[in-house]
Amino acid sequence: MDKKLSITICASFLFISSFITGQAKDFNIASYGGKPNGDITNALTKAWTDACAATDASKILVGAGSFFMNAVNLKGPCKAPSLELQVDGIIQAPANPAQLKGADQWVKIGYVNGFTLSGKGTFDGKGPSAWKANDCAHNSKCNWPTMNFGFNFLNNSYIRGVTSKDSKNFHVNVLSCNNINFDGFNIIAPEDSPNTDGIHIGRSTGVTVANTNIATGDDCVSLGDGNKNITVVNVHCGPGHGISVGSLGRYDNEQPVTGVSVRNCTLSNTMNGVRIKTWPGTSGTITVTDMHFEDLVMDNVQNPVIIDQEYCPSNQCDKSSPSKIKISNVSFRNIRGTSQTQQGVSLICSKGVPCENVQLDNINLKFNGALISAQFSNVNPRITGVELASTST
């Protein structure tokens, strides 16, 4: 073998071995002045700058202890082939929303390929003071509070182990990401915390939420427009508003949603179970297709199975004009448990563009020990292995 070629192969093998075995150059925030019970905003930002500029795989370390931090914007692109932020302590946001100076997200991470957020730490958003002043459910011109996390334009990335606690707004916003995985992630907020969606995903491809516990005051997982190939598996949701596709159709220039799989999940004491929701009386005209919800347990869920194309919270729309969103190829399979209401299945589709190819298969839900009823509008579902007390249209 040519000597030069041999050296090149050897060097490549060593690089790949180092990457696979997780050997990385460490950047400990303690080396940048980040100390327990202190403010680590500057320390983390400086550590990120150096780790991002490194030519080797890099790891930023936030050790045990309690820390304070203002809003940070950690951006790439990075020279490092992979970059990990390992947090084992408790990082606290300012309790006063004004101190975040209007930041959309408290921890914003973007434009990185091969990013990992890991550890056993907690990001405490200190939300209660913001919740008290939040009137966004009734005021379309409200000032939205800061979210805990913004993951933007990330590729081939992992979020695992850490906990998001008491965000002032959404816990996580995922925007324009490809192949990002949440595994063993935890979200904690009380049932009455407003707009604290667990993980909201928009305009992303190949997102997986797995082995995750979400207790919050709004949707546990919500999907906006432009999503493709989204998987939600082995998630426990509750309290909260369930797992939702939408709402969709409220704005111009929205993009289609296709390829959603929600399976092996448990929803406990939630307002809704699994839901597709679109706005009537608006100009949005996209398609929603290939939505599959299967092997789900509903434990005392108020509305277990829903398609709602008349979604109009606080009467912010004109219901006289039907939704223009076309929903097709949807299945609800192997769903069992208990409903808080007699009407455990509600499929209300648009009279302008009725739903097509909707299947209900092996739905076994009970209300006070009795069979549930179902309501269908502008849809003719294919029903197999389902017992219902009654149906209405």
* Residues that are catalytic: 241
Report the C-alpha gap between 25 and 11 in whole angstroms: 18
Report the C-alpha gap between 103 and 122 in whole angstroms: 20
Give, as one character, the DSSP assignment of residue 39.
B
CB 378 within 8 A of CB 346: no
Report the C-alpha gap between 205 and 178 in whole angstroms: 5
Report the C-alpha gap between 30 and 43 in whole angstroms: 8
Report the C-alpha gap between 37 and 34 in whole angstroms: 9
Give the strand pairing for 178-183 and 199-202. Answer: unpaired
Residue among 186, 242, 189, 247 at smallest CA distance from 217: 189
Strands (E), 197-271: 199-202, 205-215, 221-223, 228-237, 243-248, 257-268
